Structure 1
Amino acid sequence: MHLPLHIFEPRYRAMISDAMARDRRIGMIQPRGGDRAKPDLFDLGCVGRIAEVEALDDGRYDIVLEGLSLFRIVRELEVTTPFRQVEADLLPTPDEPEALSIAHRASLETESRRFADAQGYAVDWDSVARLDDEALVNGIAQIAPFDAAAKQALLEAPDLPARAELTVQLMQFFGRHDGEDRVTLQ
């Protein structure tokens, strides 16, 4: 997937400058909580390559990050840079794109329509229907307004069918309430 980011914090501006001088790769990982200055990190994150970059006059950046591979932290490094660094193992990626069963795909598309309608999203469903399974599942996971724990669970799903099933469950859970604790029954 591609993720557009606006980089404005000084430590992340330093990280982008460093990455641009080296291999254009950075790791994205969520904080687990705890110490606000240096929170614990989840074990699993994603390596991305800076595919596009626009350096702004005031030192900020607009970038597009292209996801490459999942990684698992081995240990955090003691560094003097303003940004955190880790030693990590890259996780293997499937040689061939994973596919969903027809039933999984239909369930995902049906629940996506319900969720989008409940959220008031305007969606080009013809374009959605043309997406391959991986782009559809990962696209929903990226843009859906799920909380950090749900997003982490999606990242940690062992394969595409498991991520699709979890995505359906999360859309059902997060799409149930309309702010007044009402449940839509069908």
Structure 2
Amino acid sequence: MTILRRRRSPLTVEPVTEPESESDATTTLLPLFPLQTVLLPGTKLPLHIFEPRYRQLTADLVSGTVPGREFGVVALRSSLTREVRGLDQLYEIGCSTVLREAKRLPDGRFDVVTQAQRRFRLTDLDCVSAPYMIASVEWVDDDPVAPAGDMAERLAVVARTAHRRYCETAWRSDDWNAPEADTELAELAYQLAADCLLPLEDRQRLLEERHPLRRLRIACRLLIREAGFLDTLGAVPLPPGELTDLGKPASLN
């Protein structure tokens, strides 16, 4: 499996019909795709699928064998892991994603695009019942919060400013997008982080935070820190289009 990082060169794909919404059960079974990356809700994940077990998963998603065409992505705790055998090798909190587009290649590989949906907590792992792993999960919602009013608005402005500073330093103008003005507070931190090359542990921290204001504050601090690093070092990360193999060494695909 290769994570396709170039957002500005979309795949030519065959559309997959949108799945009907499922009821939000407390627990469920999800096919599991461990990666050396953290998937944040609302973001898109393009993948190149080539290993047999994940080709089978993709075929099951396309055919509707997997309910809702939804599977889980969870980060590996160690980049040295080559085969997952227990929960201790994975972070507890991951994110589900839904297959949106798929193109089957002549040799059986797939190029796919998925859309991240909702967070979950791993409770059990089945490594033998199917070619790919199946996880028992509990859905994770945000904590209820009282209206934050002006404080939330001010924090959002500061976070957006930090995001713009980072992106204008790191990327070309067509390599990033500012979140829409009407983006909900609960989603803003995820969208701001999506354009930035934050370390895995920082992205996991954002994923696990259940208080929307606290999550946005964390994102703001991380973006200010990273922009400061860029200014201090006088260096910029590689353009997104040149980062296509970041997940490859630790991939289970």
SS at match of 1:175: helix
Q: What are the ranges of 5 or more consecutive residues in structure 1 without an aligned counterpart?
A: none
TM-score, length-normalised on structure 1? 0.80
Measured after TM superposition, the shift of residue 149 of structure 1 is 0.8
Measured after TM superposition, the shift of residue 88 of structure 1 is 1.1
Structure 1 residue corresponding to 2:133, chosen from 84, 87, 94 = 84
Kindly indicate whether residue 166 of structure 2 is the aligned counterpart of residue 115 of structure 1: yes
Percentage identity across aligned positions?
Answer: 19
Aligned to 1:19: 61
SS at match of 1:163: helix
Aligned to 1:167: 219
- When residues 118 and 125 of structure 1 are mapped into structure 2, their CA distance, relative to the original with a 3 A threshold, is closer
Alignment partners' CA distance in 2, 1:85 and 1:126: 35
Structure 2 residue corresponding to 1:38, chosen from 77, 83, 95 = 83
Name the Cα RMSD after superposition.
3.1
Alignment partners' CA distance in 2, 1:32 and 1:126: 30
Q: What are the ranges of 5 or more consecutive residues in structure 2 without an aligned counterpart?
A: 1-41, 235-253
Measured after TM superposition, the shift of residue 45 of structure 1 is 0.5
- When residues 127 and 46 of structure 1 are mapped into structure 2, their CA distance, relative to the original with a 3 A threshold, is closer
Name which of structure 1's ranges 44-53 and 15-24 shifts more when overlaid on structure 2.
Answer: 15-24
Measured after TM superposition, the shift of residue 181 of structure 1 is 4.0
- Conserved? CA contact 1:108–1:168, under 8 Å: yes
- When residues 156 and 55 of structure 1 are mapped into structure 2, their CA distance, relative to the original with a 3 A threshold, is same
- When residues 12 and 48 of structure 1 are mapped into structure 2, their CA distance, relative to the original with a 3 A threshold, is same
Alignment partners' CA distance in 1, 2:207 and 2:72: 14
Alignment partners' CA distance in 2, 1:165 and 1:77: 37
Structure 2 residue corresponding to 1:141, chosen from 187, 193, 200 = 193
How many residues of Structure 1 are paired with residues of Structure 2 in the alignment? Answer: 181
Which digits, 9 at most, give the CA deviation of each residue in 1:24-69, with x for residues without a partner? 1110100011752225100001112212222222222222222222
Alignment partners' CA distance in 2, 1:142 and 1:13: 26
- When residues 159 and 3 of structure 1 are mapped into structure 2, their CA distance, relative to the original with a 3 A threshold, is same
SS at match of 1:79: coil
Alignment partners' CA distance in 2, 1:60 and 1:38: 21
Kindly indicate whether residue 44 of structure 2 is the aligned counterpart of residue 7 of structure 1: no
Aligned to 2:20: none
Alignment partners' CA distance in 1, 2:179 and 2:97: 24
Alignment partners' CA distance in 2, 1:2 and 1:126: 12
One-letter amino acid of the structure 2 residue matched with residue 25 of structure 1? E
Measured after TM superposition, the shift of residue 162 of structure 1 is 1.8
